[in-house]
């Protein structure tokens, strides 16, 4: 039997936190130098602002990851990372668009000549026409499709819906609005099962209609995030209607309802990609576990879960629903410390570790080993690194823009 009182309630030891932070940030630094647009610009020009941006980005990401590990407050520090990532994505994406095009519209000619940037939400719509019709039904460059395809498939299998709280550059927008200070005006305790199943229905609908029409139906009609990225040029009555529709979806689902309910309404009850990644939760080895022997049935975790992924029933069974984004919000609130990351087929968690012997204070290395060799550390190392790799250029680009604005 292990003695959980000998482990910090949530946080990891200083030695494990420092080791893992340095390890992760070194990998990130090598990766940034070898790939992507940062590497590209370094190869062509040594711009000092970009180097400053890179150093500040690495420092910022390092501090965030260290605090996640050391304090164990996954929810707080992950949310700060996730929100800042979404903000930098918007600044960087729109900044580049305005510089290159002067506006946010994707002209019909850009669409026809495959210049729309590839986005992960497109992947489910591509699959059937790709397999059956040998055609890619999204107006993007050919090279970006296999890259995104393999990335999404691997993320789906390894992390499941963990993507939706650590990697997606849209999810942070909703997290931002749901976390704005203010009272919870609309307390959604338990959405109707039909409402909860809506994202899966939406997924089915867009996959089928995209196949039947050979066009990316979700992108054309519904995607709320076009409001703050780019959208088809508004040159007809149909386009006015479509623009109104997706802008309203953004305002209502991403801004207003999250402010009122403190929940991620779009991610929890609308996004088909969230449903797609939820299917990955069935395969992913990483899970969120509830220790039923510790749980006091206070149900605070249900009220805090942003995507309605907990219910009294699932808590009783010691697990979350399939839609869990592995965000860690419930860990922080649970007064009994009953919730933690776990792995399918293993009883090891941060609170229940075979390296920590009953009644004995673990030594420096034993504690470090126990902190590093547990599901939460393995999961967070992988997914934070992945999120950071994708976020790196957005952070860097934003810092460069700010430095330029300051006239430096």
CB of 294 to another protein, least distance (A): 19
Q: What distances in angstroms separate CA 58 from CA 65, 71, 199, 244, 390, one per listed residue?
A: 10, 20, 35, 39, 13
Antiparallel, parallel or unpaired: β 105-106 and 231-232: parallel
Interaction partner, residue 348 (ligand SF4, another protein, none; CB < 5-8 Å by kind): another protein
Is residue 97 near another protein by the rule CB under 8 A?
A: no
Report the nearest approach of ligand SF4 to the CB of residue 321 (Å).
7
Among 221, 299, 303, 321, binds another protein (CB under 8 A): 221
Question: Rounded distance, CA 276 to CA 121, Å?
Answer: 9
Helices (H), 299-352: 300-304, 312-317, 329-333
- Which one of the spans 179-187, 207-215, 260-268, 323-331 is the region binding another protein (CB under 8 A)? 207-215
Cβ(9)–Cβ(74) under 8 Å? no
Residue 346 per-residue DSSP state: B
293 binds another protein (CB under 8 A): no
What are the angstrom distances between the C-alpha of 268 and each of 37, 246, 271, 315?
33, 17, 7, 18
In the complex, which residues of this chain contact ligand SF4 (CB under 6 A)? 164, 168, 170-171, 267, 271, 273-274, 288, 290, 295-301, 305, 307, 309-310, 315, 320, 324-330, 333-334, 336, 338-339
> Looking at the DSSP assignment, which residues form a beta bridge with residue 319?
289
Nearest in space to 59 (alpha carbons), one of 402, 398, 392, 394: 392
Q: Shortest distance, CB of residue 129 to another protein, whole angstroms?
A: 8
Nearest-CA neighbor of 387 among 86, 74, 9, 18? 86
Q: Establish if 282 lies at the interface with another protein (CB under 8 A).
A: no
114 binds, among ligand SF4, another protein, none (CB under 5 to 8 A by kind): another protein
Shortest gap between Cβ of 241 and another protein (angstroms)? 9
HSE-CB at 87 with a 13 A cutoff on CA atoms is: 10
* Comparison of 249 and 339: residue with beta carbon closer to ligand SF4: 339
Q: Cβ closer to ligand SF4: 16 or 302?
A: 302
Applying CB under 8 A, among 182, 193, 345, 407 the residue interacting with another protein is 345
Distance CA 11, CA 354 (A): 18
Locus of tokens 């296999």:
146
Largest CA distance in the chain: 74
CB-based contact 300:334 (threshold 8 Å): yes
Ordered DSSP codes for 194-213: HHHHHHHHHHHHHHHHHHHH
Nearest to 88 by CA among 388, 404, 394: 394
Smallest distance from another protein to CB 187, Å = 37
CA distances from 42 to 35, 50, 89 (A): 10, 8, 20
Residue 99 interacts with another protein (CB under 8 A)?
A: yes
374 belongs to the binding site for another protein (CB under 8 A): yes
Q: Does 26 bind another protein (CB under 8 A)?
A: no
Cα 330 from Cα 340, distance rounded (Å): 9
- Where are the strands (E) in 32-101, listed by range? none
The stretch among 51-59, 62-70, 328-336, 367-375 that binds another protein (CB under 8 A) is: 367-375
CB of 372 to ligand SF4, least distance (A): 21
Among 117, 318, 337, 382, binds another protein (CB under 8 A): 382
Helix or strand (DSSP H, E) at 76 = helix 74-100
CA-nearest of 16, 25, 17 to 388 is 25
Nearer to ligand SF4, 137 or 254 (CB): 254
Task: Kindly state whether residue 356 participates in binding another protein, applying the rule CB under 8 A.
Answer: no
Per rule CB under 8 A, is residue 136 in the interface with another protein? yes
> Coil, helix or strand for 287?
strand
List 93, 198, 232, 394, residue binding another protein (CB under 8 A): 232
Rounded to a whole number of angstroms, the minimum distance from the CB of residue 254 to ligand SF4 is: 9
- Near another protein in 139-198, by CB under 8 A: 139-140, 142-143, 145-147, 149-151, 154, 158
Instruction: State which of residues 69, 125, 330, 348 lies at the interface with another protein (CB under 8 A).
Output: 348
Give which of another protein, ligand SF4, none residue 166 binds (C-beta under 5 to 8 Å, depending on kind): none
CB 75 within 8 A of CB 175: no
Residues contributing to the site for another protein (CB under 8 A): 35, 44-45, 96, 99-100, 107-109, 111-114, 129-130, 134-140, 142-143, 145-147, 149-151, 154, 158, 209, 212-215, 217, 220-221, 232, 235-236, 238-239, 242, 285-286, 343-348, 354, 373-375, 378-379, 381-382, 386
């Amino acid at each position: 039997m292990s003695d959980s009182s000998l482990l910090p309630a949530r946080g990891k030891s200083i030695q494990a936190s420092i080791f893992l932070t340095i390890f992760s940030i070194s990998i990130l630094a090598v990766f940034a130098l070898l790939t992507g647009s940062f590497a590209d610009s370094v190869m062509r020009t040594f711009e000092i602002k970009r180097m400053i941006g890179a150093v500040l980005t690495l420092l910022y990401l390092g501090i965030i990851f260290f605090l996640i590990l050391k304090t164990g407050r996954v929810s707080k520090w992950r949310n700060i990372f996730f929100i800042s990532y979404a903000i930098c994505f918007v600044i960087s994406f729109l900044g580049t668009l305005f510089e290159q095009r002067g506006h946010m519209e994707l002209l019909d000619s850009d669409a026809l000549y495959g210049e729309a940037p590839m986005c992960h939400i497109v992947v489910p719509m591509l699959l059937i026409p790709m397999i059956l019709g040998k055609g890619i039904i999204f107006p993007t460059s050919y090279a970006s499709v296999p890259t995104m395809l393999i990335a999404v498939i691997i993320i789906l299998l390894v992390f499941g819906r963990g993507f939706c709280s650590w990697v997606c550059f849209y999810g942070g927008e909703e997290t931002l609005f749901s976390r704005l200070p203010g009272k919870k005006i609309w307390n959604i305790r338990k959405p109707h099962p039909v409402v909860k199943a809506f994202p899966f229905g939406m997924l089915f609908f867009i996959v089928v209609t995209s196949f039947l029409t050979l066009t990316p139906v979700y992108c054309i009609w519904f995607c709320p995030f076009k409001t703050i990225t780019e959208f088809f040029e508004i040159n007809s009555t149909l386009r006015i209607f479509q623009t109104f529709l997706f802008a309203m979806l953004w305002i209502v689902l991403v801004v207003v309802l999250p402010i009122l309910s403190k929940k991620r309404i779009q991610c929890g009850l609308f996004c088909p990609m969230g449903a797609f990644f939820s299917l990955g939760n069935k395969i992913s080895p990483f899970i969120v576990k509830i220790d039923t022997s510790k749980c006091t049935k206070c149900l605070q975790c249900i009220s805090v879960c942003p995507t309605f992924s907990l219910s009294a029933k699932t808590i009783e069974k010691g697990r979350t629903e399939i839609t869990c984004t592995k965000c860690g919000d419930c860990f922080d609130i649970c007064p009994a410390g009953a919730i933690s990351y776990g792995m399918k087929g293993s009883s090891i968690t941060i609170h229940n570790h075979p390296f920590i012997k009953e009644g004995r204070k673990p030594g420096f290395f034993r504690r470090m080993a126990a902190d590093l060799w547990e599901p939460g550390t393995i999961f967070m190392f992988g997914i934070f690194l992945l999120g950071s790799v994708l976020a790196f250029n957005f952070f860097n680009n934003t810092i460069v823009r700010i430095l330029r604005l300051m006239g430096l």
